[in-house]
Structure 1
């Protein structure tokens, strides 16, 4: 059990944070019961229980079980070594539970991790989609100040420039942290590259693009057409058959924020990328907390390519998918850092 995370509460919450830390110290460090703590601090037992829950939910307490039989820890170590990852989180799931259950468990873990990671004075970039939507629905409210939540890629289609699905993700994430939402009201894909180039000169759009470049945290998944839980960009009618055929013929195996890439991580000469609203994938290499959340066997090919391209710095993944990723990736696969430096 680890305590004393660097969390800066708002003034109105400071007393609750202090009380939660005090209770956590007595409970975990001195092995006092909730009854003994209640008596010593002149609190009710229910109040002590709520403070312990508050401490866990807000990252003041982390609990780690060190089990020598713990496969996820072994897999995490192998993922970090194989792909040069600074951080890897492997989530235990029931093998028989199915990919929908795996996604829910992974999303819950990611939500808890983000609640510890997000602090005041940060810029957070979200690539909207089914996985990020699952994460947002599991966040626990946390007070911060001066936080911006910016949408990384547009979501408009030929039928409508507005998209309730993506807008709701950005708004709910921002509301959870008392942050300022910054939606990106442009199409997911432009009909003409020239249109995108012209629009990117507009000051309003340029401000959002510049804000994306200042992100402290990026939250996203890898798009995959063949996943059991299909990617929104593939299942939501954003790409017509000609576009899908073109990216397939170009060798694309996945996308991040509507930017497609091949199995070796290359992406700059894929024609459709000149018409996408997503950021250059170099952004995902540069941001320290570039957090990719992936679940399901259909994600493996795209995820392996993203790792080879160096687009992932922190990975949160379910155990069966992680095992398949390692089994299908030769030990001499290029490390993320090395691959990223070459492109």
Structure 2
């Protein structure tokens, strides 16, 4: 009998291990290497799966509806991977932590020695870093995708890059430049500085890129922690069709970059500059992220998306309506 109180991430990992072992016939040592797990942990997951009755004619999971949403996302977008976590009604922080934990596990399954990992700031990225608990150390280099903003811990991308490197056992290279320059000319000058250019060159070819997906409409949006924007300009952005913030760039509803002055002063890589990354992973949670996620998906900026169930339900409903109208 399945335990419906089973932790989502444990159940998901258990499901993956059981499928690989019993349906695909992989050895436990092969699974351990594939998922970056210890052999003993793979053995424990299989034993626990047996005890819970998950090994039958097919692999059974208490989160089948979430797996169906994941398949729907992959089938209707350019995503190659999607992870949908349960939504806890009325508890935004729990939802954020669950999404962060799922993103951390996805990174641990995909990271390899020698990889470069590029990240943005943001609450969801910070939650992901908090849940990185590797079974072993990885020889990785973690770099920022944007310039830095000091202040709140989750906006300081250098701080997050250092913490991620520490948790994975690797090293970090930091950007010693502000996120917003005073002018486009100053932005160009800063990006050509040797220390900044070196980091951005690594980020362009990163093996894994972890990015938040920001909202620009709510007053509590983290975008306004990056750069205080007058109320009149906020209304103007919404009026121009701006729906999201991605790599600190303002993104239109259809996925294109907004022709807005703030974008021209960013000391950051543009979304088009990370298309060469092996896996661009977006992470988001909460109803305020529905339109931003739709915009980023419309722009085909991601390979993988980690999001909570209520948010993805609204995203799929909204995308279905737009496709119907089109």
1:249-295 deviation digits (Å, cap 9, x = unpaired): 54321111211110011116433211112211113433231111111
Which of the residues 241, 253, 256 maps onto 1:266? Answer: 256
- In structure 1, the residue matched to 2:105 is 112
Q: Does the alignment pair 1:102 with 2:102?
A: no
Distance 2:181 2:47 in 1: 57
Distance 1:26 1:141 in 2: 20
Q: Alignment RMSD, CA only? A: 3.2
Distance 1:316 1:163 in 2: 18
CA shift for structure 1 position 112? 1.7
Equivalent pair of 2:83/2:305 in contact (CA under 8 Å): yes
- In structure 2, the residue matched to 1:256 is 246
- In structure 1, the residue matched to 2:162 is 171
Which of the residues 238, 256, 259 maps onto 2:227? Answer: 238
CA shift for structure 1 position 105? 1.3
Q: Does the alignment pair 1:321 with 2:311?
A: yes
Equivalent pair of 2:177/2:190 in contact (CA under 8 Å): no
| Alignment gaps of 5+ in structure 1 | 11-15, 33-63, 335-343
Q: Does the alignment pair 1:7 with 2:1?
A: no
Query: TM-score, normalized by length of structure 2?
Result: 0.78
Q: List structure 1 segments (4+ residues) > 6 angstroms apart after TM superposition.
A: none
Distance 1:71 1:9 in 2: 23
Distance 2:63 2:94 in 1: 23
| Alignment gaps of 5+ in structure 2 | 1-17, 21-27, 52-57
Q: Does the alignment pair 1:83 with 2:77?
A: yes
1:155-187 deviation digits (Å, cap 9, x = unpaired): 237xx8x99843331111100111111121211
Equivalent pair of 1:156/1:185 in contact (CA under 8 Å): no
Which of the residues 171, 182, 190 maps onto 1:191? Answer: 182
1:59-85 deviation digits (Å, cap 9, x = unpaired): xxxxx9634982112211211122132
1:20-49 deviation digits (Å, cap 9, x = unpaired): 55x4598479x69xxxxxxxxxxxxxxxxx
DSSP-derived class of the 2:108 partner: helix
Equivalent pair of 1:90/1:322 in contact (CA under 8 Å): yes
DSSP-derived class of the 1:255 partner: strand
Distance 1:67 1:141 in 2: 25
Q: Does the alignment pair 1:223 with 2:214?
A: yes
Query: TM-score, normalized by length of structure 1?
Result: 0.74
Q: Does the alignment pair 1:280 with 2:270?
A: yes
